[in-house]
Amino acid sequence: MRIVSRIFVVIVCLLSIPFMAVSTAALKQRFADGPNRVFSGGPLVAGDIHFGAEPDWSFVNPIPTIEMQLLDPPTSRRIWTVEYEGKVYVWSGYMGSIVGRMWKRWPIQAERNGKAIMRINGTRYERNLVRIQAGDELDGITAAITNKYPSQTTRSSVEQGDVWLFEAAPRNN
């Protein structure tokens, strides 16, 4: 019995090293200017803020990921994006499951306060995230998503709440 408990202790101790490495890297990223890969980053600081007319958002279509920060809380993450009919969209999958909702908290935070900043090609865009849950435009948006990414997002997955879709609309204040 003693040998079993010792083996258990040794395994836990050895696993604590990669666990500590991941935890430290995640914590360090929180103080950085934006995200890196999967860990949330701090506020987006660098880059000029875009003023003036709405850009032609089709420039995001060849870009794999963008950085997006909510104002509340001021954390950032790297996400997928797509343009459809002159508007830019972001979304989050796995929202239909409890694990997904625990893992991805930004959509819930964005629904509460949609003020966000997106940094694309070094320029920051002040936006307001507006959740879209229904409407015929979902067919086109989800088609644009599946054309760009290996995603199985469909109109019904958005309508059923498995995917939370947001238009990154202009911010008026």
Extended beta strands in the chain, E state:
66-70, 76-79, 81-84, 87-92, 115-120, 123-132, 164-170
Least distance in angstroms from the C-beta of 46 to other proteins: 18
Work out whether 24 is an interface residue with other proteins (CB under 8 A): yes
Binding residue for other proteins, selected from 6, 54, 108, 161, defined by CB under 8 A? 6
Binding residue for other proteins, selected from 21, 45, 49, 108, defined by CB under 8 A? 21
CA atoms of 42 and 9, how far apart (whole Å): 36
Work out whether 97 is an interface residue with other proteins (CB under 8 A): no
Work out whether 9 is an interface residue with other proteins (CB under 8 A): yes
Could you check whether the bond before residue 73 is cis, i.e. omega within 30 degrees of 0? Answer: yes
Q: Which residues contact 13 (CB under 8 A, 6 or more apart)?
A: none
CA atoms of 102 and 124, how far apart (whole Å): 28
Report 31-50 residues binding other proteins (CB under 8 A): 36-39
Binding residue for other proteins, selected from 7, 10, 11, 49, defined by CB under 8 A? 10
Q: Which residues bind other proteins (CB under 8 A)?
A: 6, 9-10, 13-14, 16-17, 20-22, 24-26, 28-29, 36-39
